[in-house]
Amino acid sequence: MWLWKSKVLPVFVLFFFVAVFSSNGQRVIDEEMNPPLKDRLYYGGNFGASFGTITFVDISPLVGAMITNRLSGGVGGTYQYFNDRRFFGGSNSLYGGRVFGRYNIFPNFFAHAEFENVNYDWFDNNRNVFERIWVPAFFLGGGYFVPSGDRGGFNFTFLYNLLHDNRRSPYFEPYVIRVGFIL
């Protein structure tokens, strides 16, 4: 019952029904027509934010291109800001980039592979100091595309980081769940 009072569930249900019953927006190209690159490009990304005692902001734009009707690939960037006001020096910025490939298995269902390299302030327990380090990640997984409009929609992606290192990774778990949009 607390979900209804906090309005989280009604907003989610409204978003889900609007997205599901919107017109189809799955990007399809006619390979025989050999469309120009600008017609095969798509843009999007992820955005997240929370504010309060703990502030978190995530901006992760991407650009991709349809290679065939089922295969696409692209590049993206990531910037995340984290600040925990309960601790002195509890803020950190993370930035980096990624390359990805996506294969549409069924309509709206896709497999996803991605290599990401991010830089952030890591605390070295042995030397008792912070230092900026680059941490690689190789994600495999899949997702679901919810069409909305003529060309766009929303992505729900579930990924597993094969290179996850509990000591150095900025992600607490090897599992990553993303919700993003495509235009």
Confidence of residue 151 (pLDDT cuts 50, 70, 90): confident
pLDDT of 21 over the 70 cut: no
**Terminal alpha carbon distance of the chain:** 35
Going from the C-alpha of 161 to that of each of 36, 121, 164, the distances in angstroms are: 34, 20, 5
The proportion of the chain whose per-residue pLDDT surpasses 70, expressed as a percent, equals 83
* CA gap 20, 99 in Å, rounded: 28
Q: Where are the beta strands (DSSP E) in the chain?
A: 41-50, 54-66, 71-84, 91-106, 109-124, 129-148, 152-161, 175-182
Each residue's pLDDT tens digit, 55-95: 999 999 999 999 999 999 999 999 999 999 888 778 999 99
What is the model's pLDDT at position 88? 78
Instruction: Read off the pLDDT of each residue in 163-179 and give the average, rounded to a whole number.
Output: 93
User: What domains appear along the chain, each with residue ranges and CATH number?
Assistant: 2-182 (2.40.160.20)
Burial label, 13 (beta-carbon count in 10 A; 0-12, 13-18, 19+)? exposed
Per-residue pLDDT, 30: 60
